[in-house]
Amino acid sequence: MDLFHNLIFGFEVAFSWQNLLYCLIGVSVGTLIGVLPGIGPLATIAMLLPITFNVAPVGALIMLAGIYYGAQYGGSTTAILVNLPGETSAVVTCIDGYQMARRGRAGPALAIAAIGSFAAGTFGTLLIAIAGPSLADLALNFGAPEYFSLMLMGLVAAAVLAQGDIVKSISMVVMGLLLGIVGTDVNTGVQRFSFGITELSDGIGFIVVAVGVFAIGEIVANLGDPEKRAVFTEKVKNLMPTMEDMKASIGPITRGTLLGSFFGVLPGTGPAIASFSSYMVEKKLAKDPSRFGKGAIEGVAGPESANNADAQCKFIPMLALGLPASGVMALMLGALTIQGIQPGPEVMTTRPELFWGLVASMWIGNALLVVLNLPMIGLWVKLLRVPYRLLFPAIMAFSAIGIYSVNNSSFEIYLTAIFGVIGFIWIRLGCSPAPMLLGFVLGPMMEEHLRRAMLMSKGNPSVFFTRPISLAFLIATLGILIVMIAPAVRRRRVEIAG
């Protein structure tokens, strides 16, 4: 009954005209950036963070969440019609979605992607409503040692499960931790890594790092790539899938939703891993795997459901434990901190309108996305024709205005530009900046919990090993490291022996 009452309360919050407007803005912007390749949700949310200062916390979170899961919907449109994934999670949708479009079945492909995403979004939202409060109750028993060990596990998992080289990912986490300790030590008053620069005495602003690395760095990197956009010009017709399409899609949608929900709560696993896994599962289970790659509707239904379920379930650890499972969730956590809200399990009891309003808005947002994605396909296709070189000056100007408006500081504009250059270099070196952002956000919190734990134990580090929950997190951390690094070590030994 509590769940029922809480959901009614959430819908009352979400159905206020202001929050409905923020939800509509969020999913519209999300669909737009999902459709336009090169501008991901990470960069967009980073750019929009400064304007959330002037928005109520519930509205700000609803809008930013709408951008994130809306981008997963929009990415499928580009993948099916242009064979170009707007989002990395939609890469696998290109394989069969575009083949369906070439055979005159773009309508059913788009419709099944929207239906699968809606079903997965609904399930993911329900899972957040059910699992979130239980996890938060459990987390209320955590002390400083448990939080430190949990965050350490989250950082290690994010580093080793992220795509790309493990050593580079761990290096980026360390880089984030170092950037996070710049400024004045609140306990001793000692300046750390500020190099005598007064503006750095309060530390490096979260928005400065986020906009510089993710918005400016990504834009500059994308400008170096030639535009290859051949829009599928045939008119999209016969939008509704047939009964046969629906029968073939029910199983993949169900399996994709469950798979995406599982990956969603794991730190470091983006929607791309969920959608690729779903595609491989469907291909293995298919009676005739040779249809895959030639326009099998299961190859669209499963991955699209998986990536949306993953995107929704990423909110569970962030809302229940205050632990971001991805770069986007780290930005969300940053948005909460900027609003003066301490992330963690207490949010559900101290700010229930925030949690339940967000959960209810996800249902509304998913319904809005079905409306936006199907009848407005023609508009999204036209937007695909806008050259990227015409978009970037406006995005750069918007980012600079946003940064300046936060503290009226020109120093932060220069600092953002420096981080833009650093972000560009990282991208060119193949270093994903997302683990760095997780380290930057979690670093100060980890330091605080480490100090509290050491005070509790009067300087005895055994406190992390004598408390069962903390010990369990540390063992899990070690297990993740061994499982992910052992195959690489084995390969290296074979290479040396060979």
pLDDT at 398 over 80: no
What's residue 21's pLDDT? 92
Confidence of residue 1 (pLDDT cuts 50, 70, 90): low
pLDDT at 377 over 50: yes
Per residue in 271-320, pLDDT tens?
A: 777 887 888 888 888 888 888 888 888 888 888 888 888 888 888 888 87
C-alpha torsion angle, residues 488, 490, 492, 495 (rounded to 10): -140
Could you tell me how far CA 125 lies from the centroid of its own chain?
15
Which stretches of 16-55 are DSSP H helices?
17-35, 41-48
Could you tell me how far CA 495 lies from the centroid of its own chain?
36
* DSSP helix, strand, coil percent of the chain (3-state; round to 5): 75, 0, 25
Mean pLDDT, residues 313-337 taken together:
80
| Burial letters 30-64, b for 16+ CB under 10 A, else e | bbbbbbbbbbbbbbbbbbbbbebeebbbbbbbbbb
Per residue in 63-113, pLDDT tens?
A: 988 888 888 777 787 778 777 666 666 777 878 888 888 787 888 888 888
% residues pLDDT > 90 (the chain): 4
C-beta contacts of 483-486 below 8 A and 24+ residues apart: 484/160, 484/161, 484/166, 485/160, 485/166
- Report how far residue 492's alpha carbon sits from residue 167's, in angstroms, rounded to the nearest whole number: 14
Confidence of residue 42 (pLDDT cuts 50, 70, 90): confident
- Report how far residue 309's alpha carbon sits from residue 127's, in angstroms, rounded to the nearest whole number: 10
What's residue 233's pLDDT? 47
pLDDT at 437 over 60: yes
Terminal-residue alpha carbon distance, the chain:
64
C-alpha torsion angle, residues 270, 395, 433, 46 (rounded to 10): -70
Confidence of residue 493 (pLDDT cuts 50, 70, 90): confident
Stated as kind and residue range, the H or E segment containing 424 is: helix 410-428
Per residue in 405-422, pLDDT tens?
A: 777 788 888 998 999 899
> What mean pLDDT is reported for the chain?
81
Q: What is the DSSP string of 141-166?
A: T--HHHHHHHHHHHHHHHHHHSSS-H
Nearest residue to 330 (alpha-carbon basis) of 46, 10, 5: 46
What's residue 38's pLDDT? 60
- Provide φ and ψ at 384, rounded to 5°: -60, -20
Stated as kind and residue range, the H or E segment containing 302 is: helix 298-313
Confidence of residue 475 (pLDDT cuts 50, 70, 90): very high
Nearest residue to 415 (alpha-carbon basis) of 423, 191, 220: 423
What's residue 237's pLDDT? 63
